[in-house]
């Protein structure tokens, strides 16, 4: 196995770890922390994403451009609208955590993202995730 193959194998593992943590958040909520685990699912997703970014950089890949990120967001929104029309997605987000819990989580994540310079190329991507969480908080407050 070459070094590049080794790193690609780790990259695949890190992608799976992000997916696994996202699955936990879907089942138990973003604010939930496993017993004995001090970090919430949202915080653990961020750390798994950081691990993924680290390996991505080690391979030598260039970070995504803002236009590539925006293009993907448009595509996701397009298919989200289609899923809503098909009746498969409820347009109104739901959550089983309180607004105060979401606000606390958002503040923790923002503080963490603001002080972490280790993957600054991905800062905008993480800010987008946090912005989405902020929208959920705003909708929950209505």
The CA–CA distances, whole Å, from 35 to 20, 39, 40, 41, 132 equal 17, 10, 10, 12, 27
pLDDT digits (tens, 9 = 90+) for 8-62: 999 999 999 999 999 999 999 999 998 999 999 999 999 999 999 999 999 999 9
Q: What is the pTM of this model?
A: 0.63
- Quote the DSSP letter at residue 122: G
* pLDDT for the residue numbered 132: 66
Where are the chain's structural domains?
3-61+92-141
Q: For the chain, how big is the Rg over CA atoms in Å?
A: 17
The Cα-based distances of 7 to 1, 20, 53, 57, 86 in angstroms read 10, 20, 12, 10, 40
């Amino acid at each position: 196995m070459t070094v590049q193959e080794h790193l690609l194998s780790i990259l695949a593992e890190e992608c799976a770890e992000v997916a696994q943590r996202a699955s936990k958040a879907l089942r138990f909520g973003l604010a939930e922390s496993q017993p004995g685990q001090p970090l919430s699912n949202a915080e653990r997703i961020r750390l798994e994403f950081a691990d993924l970014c680290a390996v991505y950089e080690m391979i030598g890949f260039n970070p995504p451009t803002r236009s590539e990120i925006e293009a993907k967001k448009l595509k996701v929104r397009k298919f989200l609208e289609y899923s809503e029309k098909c009746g498969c997605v409820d347009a109104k987000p739901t959550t089983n955590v309180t607004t105060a819990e979401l606000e606390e989580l958002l503040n923790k994540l923002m503080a963490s993202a603001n002080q972490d310079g280790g993957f600054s190329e991905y800062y905008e991507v993480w800010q987008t995730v946090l912005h989405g969480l902020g929208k959920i908080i705003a909708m929950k407050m209505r």
